[in-house]
Amino acid sequence: MEKKISEIKEEYLSVPEDGIPDFIDKYIKDGRPGVSKLVNVAMKRMEAERKERERMEVMWRYEREYRPSFNVICGIDEAGRGPLAGPVVAAAVVFPEDSDILYVNDSKKLTEKKREELYEVIFEKAVSVGIGVASPEKIDEINILQATYEAMRDAIDALSVTPDLTLNDAVTIPGLPFKQVPIIKGDAKSASIAAASIIAKVTRDRLMVEYDKIMPEYDFAKHKGYGTKEHIDLLKKYGPSPIHRRSFIKNFV
């Protein structure tokens, strides 16, 4: 008995990426317009995945370049250097040599939904993930750059493996005993750095949502502490909160 188009659609929606070719082969000769439309959608999906795998092949170039000489390669990035409130968060990510992860990119180029999805995938596929956080008080005490370095060192220390090479987004971190490779716009060029940028961004955004529950008047869940007009207006109205960076808000209060 011929399958209903609605059943084939349900089947398509449940097909994993590696099952798309089989789905196409199964239904390409069906002939019904509704099924042909699903097959065309599947073919576009397969082509999009092919292009994504090509993009990711380029994203692994730094890891491949250094792999012959280094066993544990770690990507490092941060989120939250610019906001007026909240911590700066750093992440360190180590992938296995044969990682097949897709879609990682500079976190700013991804939607919030995609970042959240990839956050779970990165933890699943990585050898290890480390996170470091520097508080607003620490930022005011030692300045944002030094606080960022401290968060990055803490992220590396939180790894379950010890790297012998780090790929960093643009910076060289003081005090590390192993080789570092700073890469300008590294979160768009290295899979490991891109993954670290996603982990750092999602972690920090989640923290700001929690702060919003405690101090809803500042609307931290919406602007995440960045200096939007709305945030500055609320800062002027209510004064600094416990998580505002005093060294960042001198021009506003």
pLDDT tens-digit series, residues 44-90: 999 999 999 999 999 999 999 999 999 999 999 999 999 999 999 99
More confident residue, 248 or 1: 248
Which token pair is 177? 């005993």
pLDDT tens-digit series, residues 147-199: 999 999 999 999 999 999 999 999 999 999 999 999 999 999 999 999 999 99
Which token pair is 108? 């700013």
What is the C-alpha separation between 121 and 235, in angstroms, rounded?
Answer: 37
Express as a percent the part of the chain with pLDDT over 70. Answer: 100
pLDDT for the residue 51: 96
Indicate the CATH number of 71-202 among 3.40.640.10, 3.40.30.10, 3.30.420.10, 2.40.50.100. 3.30.420.10
pLDDT for the residue 17: 87
Bridge partners of 165? 73, 179
Domain residue extents for the chain: 5-59, 71-202
Report residue 125's pLDDT band, with 50, 70 and 90 as the boundaries.
Answer: very high
Report residue 94's pLDDT band, with 50, 70 and 90 as the boundaries.
Answer: very high
Residue range 32-42: average pLDDT? 95
pLDDT for the residue 49: 92
What is the C-alpha separation between 218 and 231, in angstroms, rounded?
Answer: 7
Helix ranges (H only) for 102-187 are 112-125, 136-142, 144-157
**CA geometry: angle 156, 64, 60, nearest 5 deg:** 75
CB 75 within 8 A of CB 195: yes
pTM, full prediction: 0.93
